[in-house]
Every structure is written in structure tokens, then in C-alpha cells.
Structure 1
Amino acid sequence: MSRTAPAPQTSPTDLNSRHAAMALGLSLPADVVLYLLLPMYASQFGVTLAEVGMLLAANRLVRIAGYGFVARFYARNGDRLTCTIAVVAAAVCGLGYATLSGFWALLPLRLTWGLCFAALNLSTQALATADPVGAARRNGRSRAFIAMGPVLALPLGALLAHWTGPRTIFAILAVFSLLAYFVTRRLPAAPHPVTKPARRFKLPNSLDSWSFMEGLALDGLFIVGLSYLGKDLLPGGAVIVAGVLMALRYLAEILLSPVGGRMAEHFGAERLLVSLSLVTAIALVGFGLGWLWSCAALIVVLRALQLPLLPPIVARRTPGPERVQALAARSVWRDIGAGAGPLIAGLLLPVASPPWIYGVAALLLALAALACGWSSASPQSTSIQEST
């Protein structure tokens, strides 16, 4: 009588990575839905389009100054305490989006969420790369878990906004952020060893430049432009179309980020990063020229494939105690770009030509990708060592 082989056991590293990703996936939807609704319903939130850009950038900009503090707090206190504080604060932010109006009322919520995301994002990256074996695969799966919350929240938010206005969805999402509390209690409590920074600032290297441009083009200009330009192309039903397309962005992460992780282990993460970035630059040009929905769908697919690539590259180039600081530093450069993106979009989209805006962004992204390809594969030190 034949005996079936026992199912393979999930490693503690895989479980920790999964739980951190679930916590972020439950807390993230209020932020991504705000990116959808705030530009379209600015007047109902009591803000102008320029103030929309500042609010959507604020959570990124605060992380530029605060990532050093978050990284040190995270290293000292471990994943469980850090992420528990973050998910509770994220729930408060969601409740604020549902009830408060005006720039100065919403700004503290955006700043608070920025630090919450910094903590949760750092935990997902650090736990996914804790074991270098399978780091790219693990990071791809982590991105898939993170995307599950937004992929459900965006269509629901778009429908509720179309029927009842833009506020109701945020109260619902605040409850889901609180559910993440039960997930964070399963994270490890041990602190992370880190080394003392040798320097507080260094000039950006090629990975920093690429992180900056990816944040500016894909997490800033593209998202705000999709909502703003789509409103003009499809008045009335634009919020639903844009919401579905933004949800497809996260559905693509669920389906394709694990694929990107496996491709990185097969072809090499650096080579894949350069190739996908060049194709993304071409799609950005088409987006600016008016092929809005088709090029947006292509950008969504390419972005999902690229998401798992950077943390394994960073972990390989900066192994050991420097890994947490290096991951935080790359996130800082991405946040600088993603913080500048909504500001630029809010200022330029009403007055400048979209082909010019997105053409310049595409050119800079392509140059940054080529610089990554030309750079040496030798380990690179962390570009920024922040301090509060």
C-alpha cells in the first residue's frame, strides 16, 4: 500500500514574511483609495487640486525625514510592536478621511500614514530578505499578499463614491485596518541587529536614481494623471473606470509579482530591472500621447513585474546588519520621487501638455535604468544614512 509524501512545511521565514505582508495589505487600502478619490472629489474634501497634490505627496515626504527614525525604532523594538502601532494608527487615518475636511485637517493624517507605511513596508522587506535563499521568490509572494486589500477596495470605493459620495468607503476601510492588529500579534518580537551609520549622507548611486524615477513616474505622475486625465475623457463614469484600472494594477501584483520574482532568480534581477524599465518608459510616452487606458494597462503589468526586483538586489549588495538600513535608504529615494510626483502633477497637469510631462519622465526613467545596467555589480553601500 503506497504512502503519500508529507506536504512540505512552510519555513518560519516564509510565515513571517506572509504575516507582515497581510498586515500591510489590510492597512494600505485607505491610502490607495484616497489616491483615486481625492483628485476627482477635491471640492467635497474641501481642498484645491494643488492642495490635493501636496496631500498625496505628504505621506512620502515625511518618510524622507522620518525613515531613519522608523528604521531605528523598528530595529530596537522588532516587528510585532512596530507593526501593531502602525496598523492602529492607520485605522485612525482611515476614520479621519471619512469625517474631516480641509487641507490642515487632512495633512496630519497623511503625515501619520507616511510613518505607518514606512514601518510596515520595512518589515515586509526585511522579513522577506531575512534568508538570502529564495529572497526574490519570497518578495514576489509578499507583494501579492499586500495587493489583495487594494484590489478589492478600489472597485468598491469607486462604486460607493459613484452612488453615495467619497466618504463612506474610508469608514469601512478603517475597520479592516483594525483587523490587521490580530495579524501583527503573530510577527516576531525580536529586535534586528544594525550597524552604526558611517556617514549621514552620500551622493545617490544608480539604484538610488532608479528608485527615485520609478517613484516619480509610476507612483506619482502616473497615478495622479490616471485619475485627472481620465476624468476629462470619461465624465460621469470616470471614477469607476479609473477605480477598476487601479484595482487591476494590484491584481497584476497578485498574479505577476511572484512571476517577476521567479524570473529574477532565473535571468538575474539587475538585467530584468533594466529591460522592464525601458519598456515602461515607452508605455509612459504612449500614456502622455493619449493612449490612456491601453498604455495604463501595460504600465500596470510592467510595474507588477518590477516590484520584487529591488529588495533582493539591495540584500545581495549589502548583506549582514547593513541590510535593514540599505532597504530603508532605497525606500527614501523612492519616496522622494513619489512625493515629488503628485506635486508636479498637481502643478503641471492643468497648464502643461501631457506628452511633454510624461515624455520627460519616460526619458529620465530610461536613463536611470541604463545607468543601473552600466553600474558595477560589486556591493554598494547605502546611499543615505538618515537621522532624525
Structure 2
Amino acid sequence: MSAVTARSADSASRRSAIILSLCLPSDVLLYLLLPMNAGAFGISLAQAGILLAANRLVRIFGYSYVVRFYAARGDRAALTLAALVSAVCAFGNSFISGFWWLLILRLGWGLSYAALNLSTQALATSELGGAARRAGRSRAIIAIGPMLALPIGALISLHYGPRLIFFILALCSLGAVWFARGLPAAPHSLSNATGRRFKRPDSVALWSFVEGVALDGLFIFGLSLQAQTVLGGNAVFIAGVLLALRYASEMLLSPLGGRAADNFGAVRMLVVLSAATALALTAFGFHWLIVGAGAILILRALQLPLVTTLVAERNPGPGRVQALAGNAVWRDVGAGVGPLLAGVLLPWASPAWIYTTAGVAVLLSAVVCSRYKPVPQNNTL
């Protein structure tokens, strides 16, 4: 993207975040409603688990194609297409039943989300001055859609079944198409380096992987188990509110994390917040559920802008877009591994041991990230 100013970067970053905020709720609601209403979609519970994992798996192996299309066509074309596909997927979730048809929709959404997520990160860091602030504000805007949709969608599903809300959210995705038409149309430059598609993570990607395992995997899975054991007839609504609090914390606190990174440095804040996260995970493991879970949600929101900023700082120039995509892949890998580990470990191992170990891993990966610069990569995802 050429002739980028702070003002144009602010405007484009804000617009791309609005688009993702409008498209994301249809995916988030599926995580809430599909396991509890698998029969209404014509699938088994095991198939529901596969469908919920499919969008991450396709991103891991499909990011290379998304990056090339995004770089060649620019934000306007890529996000217009992504918003249209998101609308199709939401319409499909409101009408279609059966595993294989729903799987096609999940794969399509996974690739669309890859483009949406990449654009929000690339546009937030298109001008390094104020990048952390823009990244924090972007995360806050993105969180608004899921935060509102989760409790509203849960209430609608209680009264009208789990399908109607997806029709409404499809209309929201169509609205995102209009916002996409105002994005920059210029292509992005890519590094000419060649190499393996799936690469060993650098220190920033390693932290993202560990964070994905610990917070997007182990913690969310454990929180769901606790909710399942204590909630009564209004489980869908209460679970929706709990998940909405995650996005509310992002909306309110991610901008603060971005400002802190601008003022004190992203690396320093990453280490400090990772140390606090280790303590919060330990508290959660020792059944301090409210204190531990609340602290984890707050700290996760504060950390979100830091990694995007670090990746951009350590990969200036044409390699930035590929580095952002590569980091997102490793976060997806971690978020996919986490629930698998939780499913294996939680039935027989002590939660205190599991979550304390996860906290130590988060802190150690942050220390590694602070002490070692990334190894030069051939960023060809």
C-alpha cells in the first residue's frame, strides 16, 4: 500500500475492523449453539466437534493462498469477497442440515476469516507510528459484534430455535459488503523469499502458539466444563453471557493494551502481562474460578494488540503481511491443540497441575520472545 499516512491508516483500519465485527458473530454463535443443538442441524455431537475445528484446520493449510490473493487484489476485493462468503455461510447455517454441507460452509468461512483477520492486522500496522494504538482499537471494534450477538442470539434460540439467528446475522454480513467497498484497493508487496510453507515458529510465533494452547484452548475448554456442571435450564443464555464477557473485555481493554505498548514498549508489556497471566491460570487451576477466569479475560484482552505490533516491528517492509499470516497460523495451531490436550488431560490430571504448567509455559515463551530476535525467515506461507 502506497502513500500511507496516519490518518488514512486509522480510517482503513477502523473500516476493516467494522467488517470483521459484522461477519464474526455467525461463527461465534455456532460455537455456542451447535454443541447444544446438534440434532437440529442433522448431525451428531462428534460431528459438531469436527465442524467447529474445520475452520481452523483449513486456515492452517490455506493461509498461503489467502495471502497471495489478498496481496495481489488488495483489501477492497479480498474483503468484499470474504464478506459475501460469510453471508452465504450464515444463510446456509440457517437452512442447511447435514454434516457434509455444513462442512463445506465451515471451510468457506475459515478462508474468509483468514482474509478478514489478515486485513485488520495489516491495515493496523501499515504505518508503524501508532500501530499498537490502532491494533488495540481494532480489537475493540471487532469485539462489539460478538459481544452483542451472543446474549441476543442465545435468547432468540431459546424462543425460536437455533436457526433464525443465523438468518439475521447473514444480513449483517451483507451490510459488511458495503463497508468493504470503501477499503483501499491497492495491492500489498510480498517478500520474494522462497521456502517451506509451514515453518518453524520464531520467538513471537512461539508465544502465540503457547498462548493459543493455554487461553484459546485449555482455559476455554475448562471454563465450558465448569459452566456445564453448575448451570440449569438457562444454560444457553448464561453461557452466551459468559462468552460475551470475553468480547466485552476486548472492547474495553484492548485499546489500553495498545496504548501501554506505545508508551512502555510491546516487549516489556508482553513479559509483564504474561507473568500476570501465569498467576491467573494458576488461580484458575486451584478453583479460584471467578478471580482466575476474570483476570485471564482481562489479561488476554490487554495482550491482543502486542503481538501484532511486535510482528510488524520485527518484519518491516514486504515481509510484514506474510509474517502476520504466519503468526496467525501458529495461533490457530495452538488454539486447535489446546482443546485436544484438555480432553485428554482433564479427566485424569489435576487442574492445578495442568493450568500451573500452562501458565509457566506462557511466561517462559514471553521471556524467550524478549531475549531473542526473530530468526530471519523465508516467509512463503
Mapped pair 1:94 → 2:87: no
Going from structure 1 to structure 2, the CA distance change for 1:141 and 1:353 (only over 3 Å counts) comes to same
Contact kept? 2:193, 2:378, Cα under 8 Å: no
Cα distance, 1:234 vs structure 2: 1.2
Hey, what does 1:243 align to over in structure 2?
240
Hey, what does 1:337 align to over in structure 2?
334
Hey, what does 1:199 align to over in structure 2?
195
Contact kept? 2:13, 2:120, Cα under 8 Å: yes
Cα distance, 1:165 vs structure 2: 2.9
Hey, what does 1:381 align to over in structure 2?
376
The one-letter code matched in structure 2 to 1:381 is: P
Going from structure 1 to structure 2, the CA distance change for 1:354 and 1:64 (only over 3 Å counts) comes to same
Cα distance, 1:22 vs structure 2: 0.6
SS of the aligned residue for 1:32 comes to: helix
Contact kept? 1:40, 1:227, Cα under 8 Å: no
Pick aligned residue for 2:32 from 21, 30, 36? 36
Cα distance, 1:248 vs structure 2: 1.6
Hey, what does 1:123 align to over in structure 2?
119
Report the aligned-residue RMSD: 2.2
Alignment of 1:298-313 (within 5 A): 298-313=295-310
Pick aligned residue for 1:255 from 252, 255, 263? 252
Question: What do residues 233-285 of structure 1 show as CA deviations (whole Å, max 9, x unaligned)?
Answer: 11222222221121121111111111100000111101111221222232223
The one-letter code matched in structure 1 to 2:260 is: M
- In structure 1, the gaps of 5 or more residues are 1-8
Question: What do residues 289-340 of structure 1 show as CA deviations (whole Å, max 9, x unaligned)?
Answer: 4333442222111111001101111111110111111111101111111122
SS of the aligned residue for 1:11 comes to: helix
The one-letter code matched in structure 2 to 1:266 is: N
Going from structure 1 to structure 2, the CA distance change for 1:106 and 1:222 (only over 3 Å counts) comes to farther
Contact kept? 2:191, 2:379, Cα under 8 Å: no
Calculate percent identity across the aligned residue pairs: 58
The one-letter code matched in structure 1 to 2:118 is: L
SS of the aligned residue for 1:309 comes to: helix
1-structure distance, mates of 2:51, 2:355: 21
1-structure distance, mates of 2:207, 2:216: 13
SS of the aligned residue for 1:308 comes to: helix
Going from structure 1 to structure 2, the CA distance change for 1:10 and 1:206 (only over 3 Å counts) comes to closer
Which is worse superposed, 133-142 or 272-281?
Answer: 272-281
Mapped pair 1:114 → 2:114: no
Hey, what does 2:185 align to over in structure 1?
189
Hey, what does 2:362 align to over in structure 1?
365
SS of the aligned residue for 1:248 comes to: helix
Contact kept? 1:39, 1:228, Cα under 8 Å: no
Question: What do residues 342-363 of structure 1 show as CA deviations (whole Å, max 9, x unaligned)?
Answer: 4444565567654454344333
Question: What do residues 13-71 of structure 1 show as CA deviations (whole Å, max 9, x unaligned)?
Answer: 11111111111110001111122222333344344444333322211111111111100
Contact kept? 1:35, 1:223, Cα under 8 Å: no
Mapped pair 1:53 → 2:49: yes
Q: TM-score, normalised by structure 2?
A: 0.91
1-structure distance, mates of 2:132, 2:99: 40
Hey, what does 1:168 align to over in structure 2?
164
2-structure distance, mates of 1:58, 1:361: 25
Going from structure 1 to structure 2, the CA distance change for 1:242 and 1:288 (only over 3 Å counts) comes to farther
Going from structure 1 to structure 2, the CA distance change for 1:44 and 1:369 (only over 3 Å counts) comes to farther
1-structure distance, mates of 2:149, 2:71: 31
Hey, what does 1:314 align to over in structure 2?
311
